[in-house]
């Protein structure tokens, strides 16, 4: 339990000018602790932070060199600097496609680096961290691992940014507790991601909880990214949900795109074609511009 | 059960040019049945429809003449044409304030009519419909009555618009089935309202399901209004959720405002002050303008 | 709001021996208010109460005289004294079978009364109460009407027992608040019913929340009945869930049975045949006997 | 995707007598694949299987030798053969007690082995498996790791029984998919555990889903254990929920007990004292005896 003490005993010590008590179960990730928003600097003028708008896009799974090349070309044309893509895939059934593995990651990373694109990819267990680290710019923690506390502990010791997704039925506070594991371990390059929660509604894959955006933006100084692809799970509706997320206050959007969504190895039903992706990027930028004009 | 039949037996009849089968459990409210969006005309150039933006605002409960007068003045200044306000309040506990009743409604309606404002107010049971009708412009059906099928049947016979809220844990399809009750009864002046669903998340009052907006806009020709006040339940976050709802495709926003939210008889924690309301109205209009420019 | 006052000002008045503060939003239905369990006496030695075991069975919908007669014969053989059956059916879609109405109820009631069977049937709106009352022994309030507060108010004025079902996603406290509406109106002949809640699980129709049984039994003095038919929605599993409910502390079980479940007008998939019903009754009685022996 | 093929092409091959198609996403754990229930043999006549009743009890966390000794004495007196206790604790907040670790496990195991008690303890990551294996009789996979697929893969290669808990909001099918990971890896000594799911209800810690018991017992040949401690989270109600679980068809119960629950390092509010545990064991045995007499 927590010991009670008389705060005045500390507040009156010489040299103490002001004193803040942070009573939540998370401390370091709280806005009460650190008022200024976290800035994650990737060099070359590339930053993820409040007040700038970040786009991360790419396929669900890395499939082969041709796919990566075409996606990179699309991203470079559109000025997108982060490519997402999984090489280790968490799959509910053991009989589904489980990814290209480390060799796929090396290929993915080398091709991206040659074009100035940063790699965002999911890590699923502690033993993958060390071998993945040289080929990864952002470690993504998926919704099934949000409370894999050993993984969080180890990512707290790494000097690479982490994108932490909300659990499949995780509360907002649980997301912040999990963030605290990483942050308190020493890794302050941390981004949070809302990707939809599980409810009784079956018309969409998940229920994208945009309420979480303004709530998180007030509770924490960490950047908040939204994943509308998983959040609704239906290609035609990814765009309106991305634009909605921006107006709700998101610092960035991560989504799935593929040259031929209908042939994607996974998640094709929620994946945008390149023309759809291009159209959405333009609309997202205009929406973000409006939000800044409104002072939101 | 449904009888099977050979559709060709109908399609080949003389005079039949084209044939559509609507196999959902709702028919008349489906876009498959009626492609053109429903327009609800209130006269004086006031319409609720896709492509225009509707604002409905006012207190949770009608309290007294002074409150109504001040709210009307605020709405007239801002160009808002619909005032919401309850005189029969559904309350979980029988010991909470239950509203001013019919006398309050008459006062509310007379004051609004004098200023060209339309009254949106909740009806809770069949026996209230007839006495309320002369003093009501829009019958609101609350989230606890979405499946009060007798009430829906009777509202189907009324010549007044209805605003039908989604159930507290209602699915999107159940909302459409309930709409079908009213529409198939003959009342086609129908608007749907997303107001948040019940989930395990406790950081917000409800989980505003903006996924429902693009899904409803494709499934039905009826206008879709969003209630961010109940959808998140926290005053500071009503504005970002309203703007998000617009970008998701909402045809209108209904929200709670009061001269002194902290003194409101109910729902004060989610009610905007008049300055907050004014600021939000301006931002909503700019956001809707952008959405039209984007062609969404 | 609630006025604060110094309880000592009351406690020190002459004549006050002891003082209990009931601070919940429900009072009269609380065990803190009334320690002895409520007994509902139907005459002829038939009572619903803690310590006795009540069975209510019958079809989802009343269909015709032959069906009622066969069901009554089955119940009389098994010593069951309550027959359930709906004549007004709440249906999500307006195109489903909606019941035989008041004429059906008269037939149902007359046939039951001739054999000493009590009629349990659903009331859906205020205007039905008066015409139904002469032909109804227990007014059932369905899960879509648990927060139909006008209906609850009116049932509070009736001198007939009420079986109040938990809302489709109602909390335990909301069920007690709704009970308070009826009880505080003057009708103390009240039974509560757990019938499953809505969750994300799709392998069963609802999630039967047996946790609610011991919690309700401690919070309130009212009898608690469990409906395993709606609670799981799959015929083969109704029996184990009924037995589980008894061990969890239920005062009674209400379930669906029909001579030919596969031909039932509604809910056939969760309806027991008469042989299945007979087998379950015998097992329920043995299970209840064990529970009493265990002192639970 | 799955290739379609004409099953007759296989069924007509010489030597094929009968042919079963298992079309679920899980195969090996399905009752369609293996009709006879799985038996897990621990030697000395100790087995977990359908038709016998298994009890596993102990503290949430292993704290010290004295605690372990007293718990073992309690279990030996009551004839319980499995002691549960965590040495690696998954905690939402990084600032909570996180367990004694491997040294604690050695002490726990040595003391249990001396008295013929089997150790059930949670494994949280792949790297813990090898060091834990010599000191563990049953690897427990907790609700936050049900979809930690790497962990499941590795446990599939181990020659020790596994107790796999349902995810915090996991569906029944997802539990079976996860079981398939372990089983298809070669480890057939597998038990499933229902421990409550996350819903909107806040009166209990979780919603114990006893519907899952008969559904799982039909879908799979694996033993099903129920955890009423986590399932309801309130000490006074653990016993009725354990008895309910038995009548629903559970093959065993796992619960938390501690000499002084109010001083337990974790989960005290749902932990039974030894007298409460003793009383519950006697009642569980009588309830299981009745279930067998009823043929359920």
Q: What is C86-120 written as a DSSP string?
A: BSS---SSTTS----HHHHHHHHHHHHHHTTPEEE
Output the DSSP codes for C208-219: --TTHHHHHHHH
The class of domain B38-291 in CATH terms is: alpha beta
Query: Domain D50-89+96-287 belongs to what architecture?
Result: Alpha-Beta Barrel (3.20)
Instruction: Please count the other Cβ atoms lying within 10 Å of the Cβ belonging to residue A268.
Output: 16
Any alpha helices (H) in D121-211, and if so which ranges?
Answer: 126-132, 149-155, 172-184
Task: Label residue C12 exposed, middle or buried (CB < 10 Å: 0-12, 13-18, 19+).
Answer: exposed
Q: What is the pLDDT of residues C188-198, one digit of tens each?
A: 999 999 999 99
B187-199, pLDDT tens digit by residue?
999 999 999 999 9
Mean local confidence (pLDDT), C161-165: 98
> Phi and psi (nearest 5°) for D191?
-125, 145
Mapped onto helix, strand or coil, the DSSP state of residue A256 is: strand
What is the rounded radius of gyration, in angstroms, for the C-alpha atoms of chain B? 20
Q: Chain B contacts of D168, Cβ < 8 Å? A: none
What is the biggest distance separating any 2 CA atoms in chain D, rounded to whole angstroms?
Answer: 68
With CB atoms and an 8 Å threshold, state whether B201 touches A236: no
C126·B127 Cβ contact <8 A? yes
Q: In chain C, what are the domain boundaries?
A: 36-88+97-289
* Cα Rg, chain A, nearest whole Å: 20
**What are the angstrom distances between the C-alpha of C232 and each of A87, C121, D228, D233?**
40, 21, 19, 23
Check CB contact of A150 with chain D, cutoff 8 Å.
Answer: yes
> Angle A212-219/A172-184 helices, nearest 10 degrees?
40
Q: Which residue of A has its CA nearest to C169?
A: A200
Give the Cα separation of A39 and A51 in Å (integer). 10
Q: Nearest Cβ partner of A93 from D91, D144, D177?
A: D177
| Beta carbons within 10 angstroms of residue C179's beta carbon | 26
Q: CB contact, 8 Å: A92 with chain C?
A: no
Distance CA C48, CA B290 (A): 63
**Burial level of D13, CB count in 10 A (0-12/13-18/19+)?**
exposed
More confident residue, D100 or D5: D100
Q: Do C148 and B148 touch (CB under 8 A)?
A: yes
Nearest residue of chain C to residue A206 (CA atoms): C200
Q: Which of A93, A124, A169 comes nearest D25 by C-beta?
A: A93
Q: Determine contact: C202 vs chain A, CB below 8 A.
A: yes
Structural tokens at position B114: 């004098």
Residue A225 sits at φ, ψ, to 5 deg, of: -110, 145
Contact: D287, C286; criterion CB under 8 Å: no
The predicted structure's pLDDT at residue C12 = 58
Specify the fold of C36-88+97-289.
Answer: TIM Barrel (3.20.20)
Separation CA B31–CA B10 (nearest Å) = 22
Q: How far apart are CA C23 and CA C36, in angstroms?
A: 19
Contacts (Cβ under 8 Å, ≥6 apart) of D177: A92, A93, A94, D25, D26
Give the whole-angstrom CA distance, residue C86 versus residue C89.
Answer: 6
Chain A contact present for B197, CB below 8 A = yes
Task: Determine the Cα–Cα distance for residues D280 and D267; give it in Å rounded to an integer.
Answer: 18
Please tell me whether residue A38 adopts helix, strand or coil conformation.
coil
Cα C78 to Cα C51, C224, C246, D232: the distances in Å are 20, 22, 18, 35
Residue A100: other Cβ atoms inside 10 A = 21
The whole-chain average pLDDT of chain B stands at: 92
pLDDT band at C281 (very low <50, low <70, confident <90, very high): very high
Q: 10 Å Cβ neighbour count for B62? A: 28
In a 13 Å sphere around the CA of A2, the CA atoms on its Cβ side amount to 9
* Chains touching chain B, criterion 3+ CB pairs below 8 Å: A, C, D
- Say which CATH superfamily domain A38-285 falls into: Aldolase class I (3.20.20.70)
Mean pLDDT check: name the lowest of A243-247, D144-148, D226-230.
D144-148
Nearest Cβ partner for C172 among D203, D237, D293:
D203
Min Cα separation B206/chain D (Å): 10
Look at residue C11 and tell me whether its pLDDT is greater than 90. Answer: no
pLDDT at C161 over 80: yes
Q: Mean pLDDT check: name the lowest of A3-12, C246-255, D283-292.
A: A3-12
User: Are the C-beta atoms of A26 and A180 separated by less than 8 Å?
Assistant: yes
Tokens of A210: 């945009």
Closest approach of chain B CAs to the CA of A266, in angstroms?
22
Q: Does C200 touch chain A (CB under 8 A)?
A: yes
Instruction: Using the structure block, give the residue that is written with the tokens 């359908």.
Output: D50
Contact C211 D199 (CB under 8 A): no
What is the rounded CA–CA span in Å between residue B208 and residue B150?
27
**Nearest CB to A198; choose among C169, C198, C200:** C200
**Choosing among B167, B169, B200, which should be mutated to test the D contact, i.e. which has the most D CBs within 10 A?**
B200
Residue in chain D nearest C167 by alpha carbon: D201
What tokens were used for C213?
Answer: 């049984």
Phi, psi (rounded to 5 degrees) for B86: -100, 140
Distance from CA of D181 to the nearest CA of A (A): 5
Distance CA B249, CA B117 (A): 25
Q: What is the pLDDT of residue D247?
A: 98
Q: What is the CA radius of gyration of chain C?
A: 20
Measured between alpha carbons, how far is C189 from D240 in angstroms, rounded to an integer? Answer: 26
Q: How does DSSP assign C226-265, residue by residue?
A: E-HHHHH--HHHHHHHHHHHHHHT-SEEEEEB-SSGGG-S
DSSP string, A20-35: ----SS--TTBTTT--
Measured between beta carbons, the chain C residues lying within 8 angstroms of A169 are 200
What radius of gyration do chain D's Cα atoms show?
A: 20
Integer Cα distance of A100 and A104 in angstroms: 5
Point out which residues pair with C58 in neighbouring strands: C256
Q: What is the pLDDT of residue C73?
A: 98
Position A51 scores a pLDDT of: 96
Residue found by looking up tokens 């991203």 in the block: A75
CB contact under 8 A, C240 and D208: no
Sign of CA dihedral B152, B153, B158, B161: positive
Q: Does B203 touch chain D (CB under 8 A)?
A: no
Structural tokens at position C16: 């006050």
Asked whether A164 and A188 are in contact (CB, 8 A), the reply is no
Q: Please tell me the distance from the alpha carbon of residue D106 to that of residue D109, in angstroms, as a whole number.
A: 5
Residues in chain A: 296
- Alpha-carbon C123 to chain mean position: 13
Considering only the beta carbons, identify the residue of A92, A168, A180 that sits closest to D93.
A180
Instruction: Tell me if chain B has a CB within 8 Å of the CB of C257.
Output: no
Which among D198, B125, D104 is positioned nearest to C199, based on CA atoms? D198
**Contact between chains at A240 and B232 (C-beta distance less than 8 A):** no
Distance, CA of C194 to CA of C210 (rounded, Å)? 8
pLDDT in tens, chain B (296 residues): 333 445 455 555 666 655 544 556 788 999 988 889 999 999 989 999 999 999 999 999 999 999 999 999 999 999 999 999 999 987 777 877 788 999 999 999 999 999 999 999 999 999 999 999 999 999 999 999 999 999 999 999 999 999 999 999 999 999 999 999 999 999 999 999 999 999 999 999 999 999 999 999 999 999 999 999 999 999 999 999 999 999 999 999 999 999 999 998 888 899 999 999 999 999 999 999 999 999 99
Q: Is the Cβ pair C244, D245 closer than 8 Å?
A: yes
Listed in sequence order, the DSSP H helices in chain B are 7-11, 65-78, 101-114, 126-132, 149-155, 172-184, 212-219, 228-232, 235-248, 274-293
Contact by Cβ (8 Å): D83, D62:
no
Q: Compute the CA torsion angle C198, C201, C204, C209 (nearest 10 deg).
A: -50
How would residue D13 be classed by pLDDT, with cut points 50, 70 and 90? low
Indicate yes or no: CB of D172 within 8 angstroms of CB of C201: yes
Strand blocks (E) in chain D? 40-41, 47-48, 54-58, 82-84, 118-122, 138-141, 162-165, 190-194, 224-226, 252-256
pLDDT of residue D266: 85
Question: How far does the CA of residue B210 sit from the closest CA of chain C (Å)?
Answer: 18
Asked whether the beta carbons of residue B147 and residue C180 sit closer than 8 angstroms, the reply is no
The token duo for D200 is 């909107």
Question: Are the C-beta atoms of residues C198 and C230 closer than 8 Å to each other?
Answer: no
Q: Does A31 touch chain B (CB under 8 A)?
A: no
Strand partners, A13: none
Contacts of B212 in chain A (CB under 8 A): 201, 203-204
Nearest to A214 among B218, B240, B247 (CB): B240
Chains touching chain D, criterion 3+ CB pairs below 8 Å: A, B, C
Tally of CB atoms within 10 A around C38: 18
Cross-chain residue pair B93–C149, CB shorter than 8 Å: no
Give dist(CA B293, CA B296) in Å, integer.
Answer: 8
Q: Is the ipTM of this complex over 0.95?
A: no
C51-67 average pLDDT score: 97
pLDDT band at C280 (very low <50, low <70, confident <90, very high): very high
Tell me how far apart the alpha carbons of residues C207 and C197 are, in angstroms, rounded to a whole number. 5
Q: Does C290 sit within 8 Å of D203, measured CB to CB?
A: no
User: Best residue in D201, D249, D287, D293 to probe C by mutation, most C CBs within 10 Å?
Assistant: D201
């Amino acid at each position: 339990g927590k010991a009670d003490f008389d705060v005045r005993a500390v507040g009156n010590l010489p040299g103490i000018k002001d004193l803040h008590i942070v009573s939540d179960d998370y401390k370091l990730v709280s806005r009460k602790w650190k008022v200024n928003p976290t800035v994650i600097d990737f060099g070359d003028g590339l930053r993820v932070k409040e007040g700038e708008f970040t786009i991360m896009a790419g396929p669900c799974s890395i499939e082969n060199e041709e796919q990566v090349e075409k996606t990179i070309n699309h991203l470079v044309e559109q000025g997108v600097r982060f490519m997402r893509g999984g090489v280790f895939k968490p799959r509910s059934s053991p009989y589904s496609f489980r990814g290209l593995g480390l060799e796929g990651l090396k290929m993915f990373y080398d091709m991206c680096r040659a074009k100035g694109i940063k790699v965002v990819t999911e890590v699923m267990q502690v033993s993958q961290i060390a071998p993945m680290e040289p080929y990864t710019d952002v470690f993504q923690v998926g919704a099934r691992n949000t409370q894999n506390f050993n993984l969080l502990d180890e990512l707290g010791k790494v000097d690479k940014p982490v994108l932490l997704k909300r659990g499949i039925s995780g509360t907002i506070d649980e997301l912040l507790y999990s963030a605290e594991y990483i942050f308190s371990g020493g890794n302050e390059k941390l981004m949070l991601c809302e990707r939809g929660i599980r409810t009784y509604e079956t018309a969409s894959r998940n229920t994208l909880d945009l309420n979480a955006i303004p709530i998180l933006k007030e509770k924490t100084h960490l950047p908040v990214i939204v994943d509308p692809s998983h959040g609704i799970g239906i290609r035609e509706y990814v765009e309106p949900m991305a634009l909605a997320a921006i107006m709700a206050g998101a610092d960035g959007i991560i989504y799935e795109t593929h040259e031929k969504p209908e042939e994607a190895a996974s998640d094709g039903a929620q994946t945008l074609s390149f023309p759809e992706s291009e159209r959405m990027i333009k609309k997202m930028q205009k929406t973000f511009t409006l939000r800044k004009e409104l002072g939101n």
